[in-house]
Amino acid sequence: MIEQLTIIGVGLIGGSFARALRQAGKIKKIVGCGRNTPNLEKGVELGVIDEFHLDIPSAVKDADVIFISTPVNSFENIFQQLKGHIKDTAIITDGGSTKGNIVAAAKKVFGQVPIHFVPGHPIAGTENSGVEASFAELYIDHKIILTPLLDTDKDALEIVTGLWHSCGAEVVLMDVEHHDLVLGATSHLPHLLAFSLVNTLATVDDKKEIFDYAAGGFKDFTRIASSDPVMWQDICLANKAVLLEHLEHFQTDLDSLTQALENDDASYIRNIFSRAKNTRDQFMSKKET
């Protein structure tokens, strides 16, 4: 039982974490923190949090566990506000989509990464945001990646792992660099491409007619383009080096496909489509078992 959990950033991710742990009976008191007073007031009204503060020092001074769920470029500033205002035993963890820049920010602010900091990333979400979008079941049967460092406190890691298990999630351990490489390909690149495709179509002269006739395929492929643009701008910039590498690879493949179309190379196109279909079918089959 955790006496006090403080959530910095009470939106979809932070709010769902709070809801799931409250439902599991693992937390006595949940304190919210953020800059959007109406969102925090709604959090209290919905029972997601018990109280809130607009300043970080007041929100974290009695916290046993601190969960940070804010844009990834905000962490250095948040760490500055945490420094000197938390209990020595307080565990810090997060839901950031990139890990390298967050670990670097912790090292810069604290001099070394605190042993009670357990970096994490829930592989779950929707295109919606805000505390009203949160729900307790968000993490059930989803993977949570934790990226502890060599000197991360084992008890802190065990507690954070246990909290995620209480949310119904599967916890996977991964090193920081590998996390950013994998998520750059499977999450950051797809979001960038979805945003880019919708933007391209929006600049076509007859865009109204294009969107009037858009069907399920367009809806499925571009759903994530409804995600928060500022959040994803920050994620892409934070993982820039990895994302540029993936983009270069994708551009090479796209150039080859373009050339195949120009040359009426049906065999090449069919092979690409077949490999893609088989790969996705295998992925979906694993997800369903």
Domain CATH for 66: 3.40.50.720
Residue of 284 and 150 predicted with greater confidence: 150
| Res. 288: pLDDT tops 80 | no
Domain end (from 151, 174, 197): 174
Residues in the chain: 289
User: At 190, which helix (H) or strand (E)?
Assistant: helix 189-202
Q: What CATH number does the domain containing 196 carry?
A: 1.10.3660.10
| Closest to 68 measured CA to CA, from 146, 135, 149, 9 | 9
Mean pLDDT confidence for 212-220: 84
Looking at residue 190, its pLDDT comes to 95
Q: Return d(Cα 66, Cα 92) in angstroms, integer.
A: 5
Domain end (from 141, 174, 207): 174
Count of other CB atoms within 10 angstroms of residue 170: 14
Q: Return d(Cα 282, Cα 63) in angstroms, integer.
A: 43
Determine the 3-state secondary structure of 208 from DSSP. Answer: helix
Per-residue pLDDT tens over the stretch 116-171: 999 999 999 887 889 999 999 999 999 999 999 999 999 999 999 999 999 999 99
Which residue range(s) make up the domain with 35?
Answer: 2-174
Domain end (from 174, 203, 236): 174
271 plus 162 within the same structural domain: no
What the block records as the tokens of 200 is: 């391209």
What total number of domains does the chain contain?
2
Per-residue pLDDT tens over the stretch 69-115: 999 999 999 999 999 999 999 999 999 999 999 999 999 999 999 99
23 plus 114 within the same structural domain: yes
Looking at residue 218, its pLDDT comes to 87
| Res. 34: pLDDT tops 70 | yes
Radius of gyration of the chain (CA): 21
Looking at residue 289, its pLDDT comes to 64
41 plus 96 within the same structural domain: yes
User: At 150, which helix (H) or strand (E)?
Assistant: none
184 plus 156 within the same structural domain: no
Q: Could you identify the residue written with the tokens 């928060």?
A: 228
Least confident window among 109-123, 227-241, 247-261:
227-241
pTM, two decimals, is 0.88
97 plus 210 within the same structural domain: no
127 plus 187 within the same structural domain: no
